[in-house]
Amino acid sequence: MDLLKRIANYFKTEYQGDDKTAPEFRVNIDDLREIANMHAEKCKVEAELRKKHIKVNTGLFDKNGQEIKIGDRTRLTLDNGELREFDVCFKTVTRTVKNHPAFVDGYSKVAITGIVFEWNDYNLFPCVDENGISDVSRMEIIH
Protein backbone atom coordinates (compact mmCIF):
# COMPACT_ATOMS: atom_id res chain seq x y z
CA MET A 1 0.00 0.00 0.00
CA ASP A 2 3.01 2.31 0.33
CA LEU A 3 3.22 2.32 -3.46
CA LEU A 4 -0.38 3.52 -3.75
CA LYS A 5 0.33 6.31 -1.26
CA ARG A 6 3.42 7.36 -3.25
CA ILE A 7 1.41 7.40 -6.49
CA ALA A 8 -1.44 9.37 -4.90
CA ASN A 9 1.02 11.85 -3.38
CA TYR A 10 2.76 12.28 -6.76
CA PHE A 11 -0.49 13.15 -8.50
CA LYS A 12 -1.62 15.38 -5.64
CA THR A 13 1.57 17.40 -5.14
CA GLU A 14 3.95 17.01 -8.10
CA TYR A 15 2.03 16.28 -11.28
CA GLN A 16 0.44 19.39 -12.74
CA GLY A 17 -1.53 17.85 -15.61
CA ASP A 18 1.09 18.19 -18.33
CA ASP A 19 2.70 14.90 -19.34
CA LYS A 20 5.56 16.68 -21.14
CA THR A 21 6.73 18.65 -18.11
CA ALA A 22 5.73 16.18 -15.39
CA PRO A 23 8.48 15.26 -12.95
CA GLU A 24 9.75 11.71 -13.18
CA PHE A 25 8.09 9.05 -11.05
CA ARG A 26 10.42 6.14 -10.36
CA VAL A 27 9.36 2.56 -9.67
CA ASN A 28 11.62 -0.32 -8.72
CA ILE A 29 11.22 -4.07 -9.16
CA ASP A 30 9.42 -4.41 -5.80
CA ASP A 31 6.94 -1.74 -6.94
CA LEU A 32 6.33 -3.69 -10.15
CA ARG A 33 5.75 -6.89 -8.16
CA GLU A 34 3.27 -5.05 -5.95
CA ILE A 35 1.45 -3.72 -9.01
CA ALA A 36 1.31 -7.23 -10.51
CA ASN A 37 -0.03 -8.67 -7.24
CA MET A 38 -2.66 -5.92 -6.96
CA HIS A 39 -3.71 -6.61 -10.55
CA ALA A 40 -3.94 -10.36 -9.92
CA GLU A 41 -6.07 -9.78 -6.81
CA LYS A 42 -8.28 -7.33 -8.73
CA CYS A 43 -8.82 -9.95 -11.46
CA LYS A 44 -9.76 -12.59 -8.85
CA VAL A 45 -12.28 -10.24 -7.23
CA GLU A 46 -13.77 -9.27 -10.61
CA ALA A 47 -14.10 -12.93 -11.61
CA GLU A 48 -15.88 -13.76 -8.34
CA LEU A 49 -18.23 -10.80 -8.76
CA ARG A 50 -19.07 -11.80 -12.33
CA LYS A 51 -19.63 -15.37 -11.22
CA LYS A 52 -21.94 -14.44 -8.35
CA HIS A 53 -23.62 -11.21 -9.38
CA ILE A 54 -23.42 -10.55 -13.09
CA LYS A 55 -25.19 -13.02 -15.33
CA VAL A 56 -24.51 -12.76 -19.05
CA ASN A 57 -27.12 -13.95 -21.53
CA THR A 58 -26.13 -16.95 -23.66
CA GLY A 59 -28.78 -16.67 -26.36
CA LEU A 60 -30.03 -20.13 -25.35
CA PHE A 61 -33.49 -20.76 -23.89
CA ASP A 62 -34.75 -23.47 -21.55
CA LYS A 63 -37.95 -25.48 -22.01
CA ASN A 64 -39.93 -22.71 -20.28
CA GLY A 65 -38.69 -20.02 -22.67
CA GLN A 66 -36.38 -18.44 -20.07
CA GLU A 67 -33.02 -17.24 -21.34
CA ILE A 68 -30.15 -19.24 -19.89
CA LYS A 69 -27.34 -17.12 -18.46
CA ILE A 70 -23.73 -17.87 -17.64
CA GLY A 71 -23.66 -18.91 -14.00
CA ASP A 72 -27.12 -20.53 -14.09
CA ARG A 73 -27.69 -24.11 -13.03
CA THR A 74 -29.89 -26.21 -15.30
CA ARG A 75 -31.52 -29.63 -15.06
CA LEU A 76 -32.06 -32.10 -17.88
CA THR A 77 -34.31 -35.15 -17.63
CA LEU A 78 -32.96 -37.90 -19.86
CA ASP A 79 -35.24 -40.26 -21.80
CA ASN A 80 -34.65 -42.96 -19.16
CA GLY A 81 -35.81 -40.59 -16.39
CA GLU A 82 -32.32 -39.86 -15.03
CA LEU A 83 -31.85 -36.25 -13.87
CA ARG A 84 -28.62 -34.37 -14.59
CA GLU A 85 -27.72 -30.90 -13.34
CA PHE A 86 -25.30 -28.62 -15.16
CA ASP A 87 -23.44 -25.39 -14.40
CA VAL A 88 -23.55 -23.01 -17.36
CA CYS A 89 -20.11 -21.57 -18.15
CA PHE A 90 -18.25 -19.63 -20.82
CA LYS A 91 -14.80 -21.08 -21.35
CA THR A 92 -12.28 -22.46 -23.80
CA VAL A 93 -12.21 -26.24 -24.07
CA THR A 94 -9.71 -28.40 -25.96
CA ARG A 95 -11.24 -31.12 -28.11
CA THR A 96 -10.01 -33.56 -30.77
CA VAL A 97 -12.02 -33.25 -33.97
CA LYS A 98 -12.01 -34.94 -37.35
CA ASN A 99 -10.40 -32.78 -40.02
CA HIS A 100 -12.06 -31.92 -43.30
CA PRO A 101 -10.46 -34.35 -45.78
CA ALA A 102 -9.88 -31.59 -48.35
CA PHE A 103 -7.48 -29.95 -45.87
CA VAL A 104 -5.77 -32.67 -43.85
CA ASP A 105 -6.70 -36.28 -43.16
CA GLY A 106 -6.99 -37.46 -39.60
CA TYR A 107 -7.74 -35.54 -36.43
CA SER A 108 -6.55 -32.32 -34.80
CA LYS A 109 -6.72 -30.80 -31.34
CA VAL A 110 -8.69 -27.55 -31.36
CA ALA A 111 -9.57 -24.94 -28.75
CA ILE A 112 -13.27 -24.10 -28.81
CA THR A 113 -14.51 -21.08 -26.89
CA GLY A 114 -18.18 -20.91 -26.04
CA ILE A 115 -21.03 -21.91 -23.78
CA VAL A 116 -20.42 -25.21 -22.00
CA PHE A 117 -22.48 -27.18 -19.53
CA GLU A 118 -20.32 -28.57 -16.71
CA TRP A 119 -21.38 -31.96 -15.34
CA ASN A 120 -19.24 -34.32 -13.22
CA ASP A 121 -15.99 -32.57 -14.30
CA TYR A 122 -16.98 -32.75 -17.99
CA ASN A 123 -17.34 -29.67 -20.18
CA LEU A 124 -20.20 -30.50 -22.53
CA PHE A 125 -21.38 -28.56 -25.56
CA PRO A 126 -25.09 -28.52 -26.45
CA CYS A 127 -26.04 -31.52 -28.59
CA VAL A 128 -28.65 -31.69 -31.33
CA ASP A 129 -30.78 -34.80 -31.90
CA GLU A 130 -31.67 -36.43 -35.24
CA ASN A 131 -34.57 -33.94 -35.60
CA GLY A 132 -32.34 -30.90 -35.10
CA ILE A 133 -33.64 -30.26 -31.57
CA SER A 134 -31.05 -29.05 -29.07
CA ASP A 135 -30.95 -30.78 -25.70
CA VAL A 136 -30.79 -27.28 -24.20
CA SER A 137 -34.45 -26.79 -25.16
CA ARG A 138 -35.27 -29.77 -22.89
CA MET A 139 -33.44 -28.26 -19.87
CA GLU A 140 -34.87 -26.02 -17.21
CA ILE A 141 -33.15 -23.38 -15.13
CA ILE A 142 -33.15 -24.37 -11.46
CA HIS A 143 -31.10 -21.40 -10.11
Residue 136 predicted with pLDDT over 90: yes
Q: pTM of the predicted model, to two decimals? A: 0.59
H-only helix segments in the chain: 2-9, 29-53
pLDDT given at position 28: 83
pLDDT (tens digit per residue) in 55-107: 788 999 999 999 999 888 999 998 899 999 999 998 999 999 999 988 888 99
pLDDT (tens digit per residue) in 10-45: 777 877 777 778 788 788 888 878 887 887 777 677
End-to-end Cα separation, the chain, in angstroms: 39
Q: 49 falls in which pLDDT band (50, 70, 90)? A: low
pLDDT given at position 10: 75
pLDDT given at position 31: 82
Cβ atoms of residues 134 and 126 within 8 Å: yes
Distance, CA of 87 to CA of 108 (rounded, Å): 27
